[in-house]
Amino acid sequence: MIIILDPAATAAQRDELTSDLKSRGYGIHLSEGVERTIVGVIGAIEQDKSSLVEQFEALPYVERVVPILKPYKLVGKPFKPEGTVINVRGVQIGGGTLCVMAGPCTVESPEMLFETADYVKSVGAHVLRGGAFKPSTSPYSFHGMGEAGLKLLAEARDRTGLPIITEVMDTRDVELVGKYADIFQIGTRNMANYSLLREVGASRKPVMLKRGWASTIEEWLQAAEYIASQGNYEIILCERGIRTFETYTRNTFDINAIPAVKELSHLPIFADPSHATGRRSLVNAVSRGAVATGADGLILETHPNPEKSVKDGAQSLTFDQFGQLMNDIRPIALAVGMKL
Convert the pLDDT of each residue in 154-196 to its tens digit.
999 999 999 999 999 999 999 999 999 999 999 999 999 999 9
Q: Is the pLDDT of residue 134 over 90?
A: no
Q: Which of the two residues, 68 and 221, has the higher pLDDT score?
A: 221
Convert the pLDDT of each residue in 285-302 to its tens digit.
999 999 999 999 999 999
pLDDT at 137: 63
Q: Is the pLDDT of residue 107 over 90?
A: yes
pLDDT at 140: 54
Residue 192's alpha-carbon distances to 42, 79, 117, 225, 239, in angstroms, are 21, 23, 31, 11, 15
The CATH number of residue 174's host domain is 3.20.20.70
Percent of the chain with pLDDT over 90: 78
Give domain status of residue 154, yes or no: yes
Whether 174 contacts 203, CB under 8 Å: yes
Give domain status of residue 79, yes or no: no
pLDDT at 38: 87
Domain count, the chain: 2
Q: Residue 35's pLDDT band (boundaries 50, 70, 90)?
A: confident
pLDDT at 139: 67
61 and 146 co-located in one domain: no
**Per DSSP, what are the bridge partners of residue 102?**
128, 300
45 and 188 co-located in one domain: no
Q: Is the pLDDT of residue 141 over 70?
A: no
193 and 324 co-located in one domain: yes
The CATH number of residue 10's host domain is 3.30.70.1140
Q: Which residues form the domain of 48?
A: 2-69
Instruction: Point out the domain boundary residue: 44, 69, 94.
Output: 69
Residue 338's alpha-carbon distances to 8, 155, 191, 255, 333, in angstroms, are 32, 31, 28, 18, 5
pLDDT at 170: 95
Phi, psi dihedral angles at 68 (to 5 degrees): -115, 120
* Interval 253-267 mean pLDDT: 97
Contacts 24+ apart (CB under 8 A), 26-34: 27/229, 29/74, 29/79, 29/228, 29/229, 29/231, 31/79, 31/80, 31/233, 33/80, 33/82
101 and 235 co-located in one domain: yes
164 and 200 co-located in one domain: yes
* Interval 90-101 mean pLDDT: 98
| Strand 235-239 relative to strand 127-129, pairing | unpaired
* Interval 224-233 mean pLDDT: 93
Q: Residue 135's pLDDT band (boundaries 50, 70, 90)?
A: low
* Interval 306-321 mean pLDDT: 92
For the chain, what's the residue count? 340
